[in-house]
A and B are shown apart, each in its own frame.
Chain A
């Protein structure tokens, strides 16, 4: 039994650590980027993703998706790690990691309806 549980424990431990760092990062970024600033920045996303990132079509909606998923994807775009990217790599490079994290949180907290 123990042998089976251990790997899970290991994963859980990693997840907890990741959550801790994510939370810490959120706190830091919340300190650095005021909400009004994040909102203005998020306006740049609406031109393709629709108002509040809610429009789903050829370009996907981003509202209401988990912050961790959005942030991971934005960072992957920025680092050129997302295959078959068309334009988001070029755009993500214009933002700091803290800004991308703040944007991920912003859109995650919008109700997609």
Chain B
């Protein structure tokens, strides 16, 4: 929404006032730099060392720099990933604003798993919404490291209806995987040697758990964090609980909704562990709205439980918005997308929007 100029960046920022003032949580604004899981200590960037009985981590993601040749932190200043909101978002917004009518916006999308599975396609939709109004002869080229994506049918139908052939999606099998980036020239090269030049270049690189997960010794060879599905306690380090995008929680997606739901299950499990009782039976939901434009919303929803020590999506529940839904339903889902954002911001940070 910020990229499309529909919202300002500060409107998606939140603070910790409710945690401090309503719940009496002691909030320290410093980076956790190292963790000793044996001595149960956390080293902070301000020099403090904290001792814990139980530790809950939400490490988020880090980019795998140089997994795509030429794409490192310096390159991200020229060809932003904008996959962590903030200055990166503004660089990409500036590139979109600088595009001339008829220019091409290129987005490189990684294979699974990565943060926010429908995110790249919703971004393409809202960039198209912006271009349609301001630079209608422009193109969007999505170069993808996979052959199918979240809500694909709903996205492609919505794109066709609203943007004609403005958005072109190139799958892995059709040489969509970007292997080399020349950020200074805003050029990318795919697996079979095709080169594409952009006016605005957005490279969403492959990802892994945030670095603090490595420091805590909770990641495995995949770069992500395996957890006990009932409690979200690390399977590798006792008394460290991990939630959010960093975890291996499939079929739950790497979404903010899922992270919030996992946080509740982990908090409940920690309380149960302190009380010496069996943790509650976990249950999670996830609803993920995407906007094709500000008046056309689509969603995927699921309810998750644990069966045979595996997280499963409950059979017969969940699924996608109807393919043949009316304009009214699409408009309702767009309104609910905003309602959802307000609710999760309020539930997570106490933000009143």
A residues near B342, Cβ cutoff 8 Å: 50, 55, 57
Q: Is B273 an interface residue (CB 8 A)?
A: no
* Cβ of B16 to closest chain A Cβ, rounded Å: 16
* Cβ of B169 to closest chain A Cβ, rounded Å: 25
A residues near B340, Cβ cutoff 8 Å: 47-48, 59
**Chain B interface bracket (under 10, 10 to 19, 20 to 34, 35 or more):** 35 or more
Given A59-B336, A91-B285, A86 and B347 touching (CB < 8 A)? no
* Cβ of B333 to closest chain A Cβ, rounded Å: 5
Of A41, A46, A51, A92, the residue contacting B283 (CB under 8 A) is A41
Q: Is A58 an interface residue (CB 8 A)?
A: yes
B residues near A86, Cβ cutoff 8 Å: 299, 321, 329, 332-333, 336
Q: Number of residues in A with C-beta < 8 Å to the partner?
A: 27
Complex Cα spacing A32 to B30, Å = 44
Complex Cα spacing A93 to B301, Å = 11
Complex Cα spacing A79 to B280, Å = 27
Complex Cα spacing A28 to B333, Å = 36
B residues near A43, Cβ cutoff 8 Å: 261, 264
Cβ contact within 8 Å between A44 and B283: yes
Cβ contact within 8 Å between B343 and A59: yes
A residues near B265, Cβ cutoff 8 Å: 40
* Cβ of B280 to closest chain A Cβ, rounded Å: 5
Cβ contact within 8 Å between B299 and A87: yes
Q: Is B155 an interface residue (CB 8 A)?
A: no
Q: Is A36 an interface residue (CB 8 A)?
A: yes
* Cβ of B57 to closest chain A Cβ, rounded Å: 20
A residues near B171, Cβ cutoff 8 Å: none
Cβ contact within 8 Å between A90 and B346: no
Q: Is A37 an interface residue (CB 8 A)?
A: yes
B residues near A87, Cβ cutoff 8 Å: 287, 299, 301, 321, 333, 336
Q: Is B119 an interface residue (CB 8 A)?
A: no
* Cβ of B149 to closest chain A Cβ, rounded Å: 20
Cβ contact within 8 Å between A84 and B280: no
Cβ contact within 8 Å between A94 and B281: no
Residue of A nearest to B352 (CB): A55
* Cβ of B281 to closest chain A Cβ, rounded Å: 6
Cβ contact within 8 Å between A40 and B287: no
A residues near B19, Cβ cutoff 8 Å: none
Cβ contact within 8 Å between B268 and A91: no
Please tell me which stretch of B2-10, B110-118, B312-320 contacts chain A, meaning at least 4 of its Cβ atoms lie within 8 angstroms of it. Answer: B312-320
Q: Is B257 an interface residue (CB 8 A)?
A: yes
B residues near A46, Cβ cutoff 8 Å: 343, 347
Residue of B nearest to A43 (CB): B264
Q: Is A95 an interface residue (CB 8 A)?
A: yes
Residue of B nearest to A93 (CB): B317
Q: Is B87 an interface residue (CB 8 A)?
A: no
* Cβ of A26 to closest chain B Cβ, rounded Å: 20
Cβ contact within 8 Å between B299 and A37: no
B residues near A93, Cβ cutoff 8 Å: 303, 314, 316-318
A residues near B321, Cβ cutoff 8 Å: 86-87
A residues near B103, Cβ cutoff 8 Å: none
Cβ contact within 8 Å between B287 and A91: yes
Complex Cα spacing A16 to B347, Å = 39
B residues near A49, Cβ cutoff 8 Å: 343
Q: A40-B268, A48-B287, A94-B303 are in contact. List 9 more A-B contacts (CB 8 A).
A: A40-B264, A48-B343, A55-B343, A59-B343, A84-B328, A87-B299, A91-B303, A91-B317, A95-B317
- Name B's A-contacting residues (CB within 8 A): 257, 260-261, 264-265, 268, 280-285, 287, 299, 301-303, 305, 314, 316-319, 321, 328-329, 332-333, 335-336, 338-340, 342-344, 346-347
